[in-house]
């Protein structure tokens, strides 16, 4: 373990930021670390050795060594499958308490605050016993925060049982001014796996029980997107949208920046950007329909055809397909997404509705075509299409497949809808205002920094 990473100097506060080793968790926490460091606070960014191998290129020292990367073992052997989240989670839970305690005790510059990624909430008691202030970062939506904080009330009202299984087929209001949430949109809902649902529910319930005991809950959204969320609990700090703004975006995967040069050659608002994050998984039939849909719509497209989308069990596309679309399609393994979404040639975003992707696209005024996979992505789709009205949803056929015809039609519908474009630009302005001088998120970040420095 590299404990030297915590040896930072200075008297303006020292925060230890610890991320869960997944792309959707590490990226926003790196962006948050950069924002905090801009206020003169020292940051020790802690991740596992496996993910740090990539992050070491993503987090050069900021300024006078304001951000240091600290790597700790995850307890697994090199040959173990780190894509198996259950194995990874169990190992991290065993080894991380000792690592965190060691880091806090050996830091040459006293740690004044700790920011824990929400799945690491089981570590809360360690800094708390040492009198160190603690924030938990929630990588999810206002609606899912409300859902998690009200689990006990849902059980009492017999909306769900003690294992999270829905007992009523009805929608509930989670946050005023946001759409009602159906039981099928509950974060832990799993339609075909009762055991998996029980495990996920128990994990989420535990995370929120930890979270509520922290000093602050840091969220990647801005107040105007869900004004009523502030009434859920007094310690919520919306500091989003968390954007890289030219700094490291914190990718755990090697980004292919050649797509930016390709985008430069495309007409304004002409390119369909297609990316599904690092957790979505597609069947071979669905991948084939996606590829045919991109070909069938006869528009320029940029497709992030990440090999993990299929767990490597089959090829995402054929050489014949590549040749047929070569004059208007660009296919990459991974893309610098924030820069892609900011590019003037992007027309819309076909997305899994992961929360980071949602905030990035919303901040750039790019309309959505929603293709959620699981968890909070389902309710995010509802907020996008029915609440904020900045996108449309793709509908599966009777076999559960989103067809090439559905893809083509919804792209046409989305790009011809002037009201969706107008709503997208309105939310973009709100997002940008929130992180400007005097904006709501800027004020919350300044408050957090003032607490870290004490």
Structure tokens at 204: 């989420």
- CA 169 – CA 331 distance, rounded (Å): 41
Q: Is 255-429 the same fold as 12-245+435-451?
A: yes
Residues 103 and 70 sit within 8 Å (Cβ to Cβ):
yes
**Extents of the domains making up the chain:** 12-245+435-451, 255-429
Closest by CA position to 104, among listed 125, 71, 132: 132
Q: How many CB atoms lie within 10 A of CB 168?
A: 12
- CA 82 – CA 98 distance, rounded (Å): 21
Residues 414 and 367 sit within 8 Å (Cβ to Cβ):
yes
Q: What is the pLDDT along the chain (454 residues), one digit of tens a residue?
A: 444 444 444 448 999 999 998 878 888 999 999 999 999 999 999 998 877 766 655 565 444 568 898 989 988 888 877 777 788 888 999 999 999 999 999 998 899 999 999 999 999 999 999 999 999 999 899 999 999 999 999 999 999 999 999 998 899 999 998 999 999 999 998 766 788 889 899 999 999 999 999 999 999 999 999 988 888 888 999 999 999 887 666 676 778 899 999 999 999 999 999 999 877 788 888 988 999 999 999 999 999 988 777 766 667 777 788 888 889 999 998 999 999 999 999 999 999 999 999 999 999 999 999 999 888 999 999 999 999 999 999 999 999 999 999 999 999 999 999 999 999 999 999 999 999 999 999 999 999 999 999 8
Q: Does domain 255-429 have CATH number 3.40.50.2000?
A: yes
Residue 193 per-residue DSSP state: -
Residues 181 and 169 sit within 8 Å (Cβ to Cβ):
no
- CA 58 – CA 373 distance, rounded (Å): 28
Backbone Cα Rg of the chain: 22
pTM (two decimals) = 0.91
Under CATH, to which class is 12-245+435-451 assigned? alpha beta
- CA 440 – CA 444 distance, rounded (Å): 6
Structure tokens at 188: 């832990």
């Amino acid at each position: 373990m590299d404990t030297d990473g915590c040896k930072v100097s200075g008297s303006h506060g020292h925060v230890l930021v610890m991320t869960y080793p997944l792309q959707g968790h590490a990226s926003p926490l790196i962006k948050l670390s950069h924002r905090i460091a801009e206020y003169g606070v020292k940051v020790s960014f802690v991740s596992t050795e496996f993910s740090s191998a990539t992050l070491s290129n993503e987090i050069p020292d900021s300024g006078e060594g304001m951000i240091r990367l600290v790597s700790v073992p995850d307890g697994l052997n090199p040959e173990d499958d780190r894509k198996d989240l259950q194995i990874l989670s169990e190992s991290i839970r065993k080894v991380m308490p000792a690592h965190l305690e060691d880091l806090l005790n050996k830091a040459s510059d006293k740690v004044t605050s700790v920011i824990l990624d929400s799945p690491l909430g089981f570590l809360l008691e360690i800094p708390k016993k040492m009198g160190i202030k603690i924030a938990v970062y929630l990588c999810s939506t206002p609606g899912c925060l409300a859902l998690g904080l009200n689990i006990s009330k849902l059980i009492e009202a017999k909306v769900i049982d003690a294992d999270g299984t829905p007992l009523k087929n009805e929608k509930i209001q989670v946050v005023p001014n946001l759409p009602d949430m159906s039981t099928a949109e509950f974060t832990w809902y799993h339609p075909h796996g009762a055991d998996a649902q029980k495990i996920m529910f128990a994990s989420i319930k535990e995370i929120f029980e930890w979270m509520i005991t922290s000093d602050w809950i840091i969220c990647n959204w801005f107040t105007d997107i869900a004004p009523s969320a502030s009434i859920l609990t007094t310690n919520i700090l919306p500091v989003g949208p968390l954007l890289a703004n030219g700094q490291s975006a914190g990718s755990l995967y090697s980004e292919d920046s050649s797509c930016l040069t390709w985008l430069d050659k495309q007409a304004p608002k002409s390119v369909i950007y297609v990316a599904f994050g690092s957790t979505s998984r597609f069947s071979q039939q669905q991948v084939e329909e996606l590829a045919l849909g991109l070909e069938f719509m006869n528009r320029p497209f940029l497709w992030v055809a990440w090999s993990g989308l299929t767990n490597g069990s089959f090829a995402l596309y054929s050489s014949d397909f590549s040749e047929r679309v070569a004059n208007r399609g660009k296919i990459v393994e991974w893309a610098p997404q924030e820069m892609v979404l900011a590019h003037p040639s992007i027309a819309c975003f076909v997305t899994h509705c992961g929360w980071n992707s949602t905030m990035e696209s919303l901040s750039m005024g790019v309309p959505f075509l929603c293709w959620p996979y699981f968890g909070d992505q389902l309710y995010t789709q509802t907020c996008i299409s029915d609440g904020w009205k900045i996108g449309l949803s793709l509908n599966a056929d009777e076999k559960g497949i989103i067809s090439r015809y559905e893809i083509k039609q919804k792209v046409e519908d989305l790009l011809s809808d002037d009201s969706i474009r107008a709503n997208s630009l309105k939310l973009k302005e709100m997002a940008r205002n929130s992180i400007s001088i005097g904006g709501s998120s800027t004020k919350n970040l300044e408050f957090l920094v003032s607490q870290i420095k004490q």
